[in-house]
């Protein structure tokens, strides 16, 4: 498999399930992601602007291909309600041949 076709995962978080669904729907509709998984009910503890914060968040994993990384991150950032969204790229060593092919197919441009 070529490096640009390698599946990657992009991790992010949202303040609500509605926000996560809105961004996830847009990424899949634009064929920037084959699939997104949203995990509501996460508790985040972090420092922000000098204060300790605790927040309920929704974690999301975006499944895409390496060649779309910059586009996916830019579009997620553009649609994201946070000033500084968490956007972390997680490389993979591939996966099942069939699943990787599905990701490539779903992120391969406009559907006929």
Segment 72-100, tens digit of pLDDT: 999 999 999 999 999 999 999 878 999 99
Q: pTM here?
A: 0.92
Q: Is the pLDDT of residue 104 over 90?
A: yes
Domains of the chain from N-terminus onward: 3-106 (3.30.70.120)
Query: Do residues 21 and 98 lie in contact, with contact meaning Cβ atoms separated by under 8 Å?
Result: no
User: Region 60-75: what's the mean pLDDT?
Assistant: 97
Query: Do residues 64 and 33 lie in contact, with contact meaning Cβ atoms separated by under 8 Å?
Result: yes
Q: Percentage of the chain with pLDDT > 90?
A: 88
Give the burial class of 99: count Cβ atoms within 10 A of its Cβ; 0-12 exposed, 13-18 middle, 19 or more buried. middle
């Amino acid at each position: 498999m070529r490096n640009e076709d390698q599946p990657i995962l992009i991790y992010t978080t949202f303040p609500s399930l509605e926000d996560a669904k809105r961004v996830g729907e847009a990424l899949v509709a634009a064929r920037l992601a084959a699939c997104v998984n949203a995990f509501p009910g996460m508790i985040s503890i972090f420092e922000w602007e000098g204060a300790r914060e605790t927040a309920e968040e929704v974690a999301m994993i975006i499944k895409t291909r390496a060649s779309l990384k910059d586009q996916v991150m830019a579009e997620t950032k553009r649609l994201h309600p946070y000033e500084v969204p968490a956007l972390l790229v997680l490389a993979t060593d591939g996966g099942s041949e069939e699943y990787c092919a599905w990701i490539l197919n779903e992120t391969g441009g406009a559907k006929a």
